[in-house]
Amino acid sequence: MQTAETTPGVAGRLAAARRIIGLAGDWAKGYFDRYDSLSVETKSSRQDVVSIADRDVEDLIRAEIRAAFPLDGLFGEERGGEGETSGYTWVVDPIDGTACFLHGLASWCVVIALVGDGRTLIGLILDPMSGRLYQAIAGGGAWCDGRRLSVDRTTPINGGLFALGASTVAQGAQMGRIVEGLLNAGGVFMRNGSAALSLAHVAAGHYLGFYEPRLSSWDCLAGLLLVEEAGGVADDFLAGPGLSGKGPVFAAAPQVAGAFRALTGE
């Protein structure tokens, strides 16, 4: 089978993405070191925050991609979308876990995905605080700093950790039911505030699953590819909400996927 890595055009973009995400991580970390002096703006609610750090890091990533691949599309959380004529579109979240970042918590990351032909071809998630770079290539596996990743294929629900996320008032009752169900099943719920990092941790076998009812493509495409390439169950977000839609994100280790999905009510 032809992997995305051997598809003409993808290898060069993967090398560029690795370089660019490193620059972006360093830039973001510089802002994080003085997080409490950044002025914070709100978006859809008082809890939906953004700062100059998000915008500057996205601008840096866009400028680098634009310079290297001027015909590629660009789609990012803070600056919206620009069209493509090459068949490739980059999907960027400059800082996923912005609320953690702006409260001085280390749970945030930089996310870059490449989409082509209706599927995610590569996904990169950099955790600048640990220095870990998670990387997936469609058909070519999931990796972290040279180590092949695999989901935890043996632990049952009552032996592992599940990450959840939620960001709107409307999700309260549903999340309450999920937490109750998980605890009744002997499971443990976690929330780290970054959907992308949660998905990377499912791929690495730290969490058994992740669910959040409403996310965007930039939050989840890279992480879903990581989970799929690490042998997990990961929903196809592009076939559902798509590049510009919002919708639920589900990923889990195979042996718990059915039971965990039932608990989410999806």
Output the known binding site for Mg(2+).
77, 93, 95-96, 219
How many chain residues bind ligand 2AM (CB under 6 A)? Answer: 17
Q: Select from 88, 91, 87 the least CA-distant residue to 79.
A: 91
> Contacting ligand 2AM (CB under 6 A), which of 107, 194, 217, 264?
194
**Segment contacting ligand 2AM (CB under 6 A): 29-37, 67-75, 96-104, 134-142?**
96-104
* Binding residues among 65-84 for ligand 2AM as defined by CB under 6 A: 77
Cα–Cα distance measured from residue 97 to residue 240, given in angstroms and rounded to the nearest whole number: 23
| CB contact burial 28-39 (16+ within 10 A = b; e otherwise) | bbebbeebeebe
Q: Which does 123 bind (CB under 5 to 8 A by kind): Ca ion, ligand 2AM, none?
A: none
CB of 163 to ligand 2AM, least distance (A): 10
- CA atoms of 246 and 248, how far apart (whole Å): 7
Of these, 76, 123, 128, 193, which contacts ligand 2AM (CB under 6 A)? Answer: 193
38 to 97, contacts with Ca ion by CB under 5 A?
93, 96
Binding residue positions: 77, 93, 95-96, 219
**Minimum distance from CB of 131 to Ca ion (Å)?**
20
The interface partner of residue 145, options being ligand 2AM, Ca ion, none and the CB cut-off 5 to 8 Å by kind, is none
Give me the least distance between CB of 210 and ligand 2AM, in Å please.
10
Select 68 or 238, whichever has its Cβ closest to ligand 2AM: 238
* Buried residues in 49-75 as b, exposed as e (16+ CB within 10 A): bbbebbbbbbbbbbebbeeebeebbbb
**Contacted entry of Ca ion, ligand 2AM, none for residue 263, CB cut-off 5 to 8 Å set by kind:** none
Q: How far apart are CA 175 and CA 96, in angstroms?
A: 21
In the complex with Ca ion, the residue whose CB is nearer, 56 or 96, is 96
Location of structure tokens 């209706």: 118
**Sheet with 109-116: strands ordered across:** 80-82, 73-76, 88-96, 109-116, 119-127, 132-137, 141-144, 147-148
**Contact predicate 197/109, CB 8 Å:** yes
* Binding footprint of ligand 2AM on the chain (CB under 6 A): 44, 48, 77, 93, 96-99, 165, 167, 193-195, 212, 214-215, 219
